Amino acid sequence: MSSRGDGRITAPPARPRRRLALALLIAVAGGVGVPPSVPAHDAGNLQDEFIKGVFSPAFVPPPAGSYELPAIRKVSAFTLRDAAGRPANTRTLMAGKVAVVSFIYTACVDRTGCPLASVTLRDLQAKLRDEGLAQQAVLLSISFDPGRDTPSELAKYARIYDADPALWQFLTVPSRPLLARVLDSYGQDQAPVYDERGRFTGRYRHVLKVFLVDRDGHVRNIYSAGLLSPALVVNDIKTVLGANGSRSPRP
């Protein structure tokens, strides 16, 4: 099962996020914590109920461009496989676009883990179209369970969330050694859960993280459960696109 995020944004010590950090601290100081439980398997209402429990009524994302998002780290490019089983190079998928990258596994039962990330990306997909940003952004959901999450399983999962392959791609990693390199590049933790006899339970323990990656391959924000809001992500995308053109500041 996945563990909940702690609501923090990691940033280089020498380059604080200034106005964004202050705005978010004010917005969440009184409310971020463990989201309320919700009825089982209702993906349509999960994100709405989570937002009501964490952000509403006080949280309003700061205006796009009114804050800075310094580069956190540079991520590498990898050749993975898409939901049709074809090779998919992340550099090609991200070329000229801001990427929102989520690490999931389809058997996750913690509703404030992978399902929350997928519901948020579903709603983000719609907001990107509404804001006219669909050609400037791409959503990537990468599975860290290559044994079970075959391309056909990811295709089924993508249909559950109404993913448009022109905007939102689901990817699996061909081998575990490559998976380790991908996770290390992003800084995503993951550990299999074993029972008292040392048998794999089919679950993974991980902190929910969703990464905002600019057009130069730099991570510009990391969202955990306490800060995973489509409205905030959209404003961050606009900030990255508008503040620095086609280039990004070096860490």
Q: Give domain status of residue 251, yes or no.
A: no
Report the pLDDT averaged over residues 165-181: 96
Domains: count for the chain: 1
Q: Is the pLDDT of residue 59 over 90?
A: no
CA atoms within 13 Å, Cβ hemisphere of 207? 16
Q: Which three-class secondary structure string do you get for 71-105?
A: CCEECCCCEEEECCCCEEEHHHHHCCCEEEEEEEC
Q: Give domain status of residue 222, yes or no.
A: yes
User: What is the domain range of residue 49?
Assistant: 19-26+44-192+200-244
Q: Lowest-pLDDT range, 35-44, 195-204, 217-226, 233-242? A: 35-44
pLDDT, residue 27, reads 38
Q: Give domain status of residue 142, yes or no.
A: yes
Beta bridge partners of 102: 141, 210
Q: Give domain status of residue 63, yes or no.
A: yes
Q: Is the pLDDT of residue 73 over 70?
A: yes
pLDDT band for 227, please (50, 70, 90 cuts). Answer: confident
pLDDT, residue 58, reads 56
Q: Give domain status of residue 7, yes or no.
A: no
Q: Give domain status of residue 4, yes or no.
A: no
pLDDT band for 249, please (50, 70, 90 cuts). Answer: very low
Q: Is the pLDDT of residue 126 over 60?
A: yes
Strands (E) across the chain are located at 73-74, 79-82, 87-89, 98-104, 137-143, 168-172, 191-194, 200-205, 210-213, 218-223
Q: Is the pLDDT of residue 45 over 70?
A: no
Q: Give domain status of residue 11, yes or no.
A: no
Whole-number Å distance between alpha carbons of 179 and 146: 8
Selected residue with higher pLDDT from 60 and 34: 60
Q: Give domain status of residue 166, yes or no.
A: yes
Report the pLDDT averaged over residues 18-38: 36
User: Is this prediction's pTM over 0.85?
Assistant: no
CATH of the domain at 163: 3.40.30.10
pLDDT, residue 242, reads 86
pLDDT, residue 74, reads 97
